Amino acid sequence: MVLLALVVEKNDDGFLARMPGIQGAFAEGDTIEEAIFNCVDVIKMIAAYRAERGEHLPVDSVEVTPNTRLAVSIPVELPA
């Protein structure tokens, strides 16, 4: 298991959760929790797709900006 950095920001439609460094790893939600859960689902799909292709998820550092409201680490099982 690896801990991945997830950034959550307020936007016009609610909240945006994103994982820096992984293309397509973002999701919106009406609440912070919904955005996080949606983003975790997206990350799992990306991880499974990349594992099928023999690719790894790049892990980057988190960039915190003035708009950043919350940064969390989430546990994700990555296929070997």
Q: Where are the domains of the chain?
A: 2-76
Q: CA-CA distance, 50 to 54, in Å (whole number)?
A: 6
Rounded average pLDDT over 58-68: 61
Rounded average pLDDT over 23-29: 94
pLDDT at 40: 87
- pTM comes to 0.71
pLDDT at 47: 85
Rounded average pLDDT over 28-44: 92
Comparing CA positions, the residue from 31, 2, 1 lying closest to residue 15 is 31
Q: CA-CA distance, 80 to 6, in Å (whole number)?
A: 22
Quickly state the pLDDT bin for 75 (edges 50, 70, 90). Answer: low
Q: CA-CA distance, 4 to 10, in Å (whole number)?
A: 20
Distances (CA, A) of 67 to 8, 16, 41: 9, 11, 24
Q: 2-76 has which CATH code?
A: 3.30.160.250
pLDDT at 73: 63
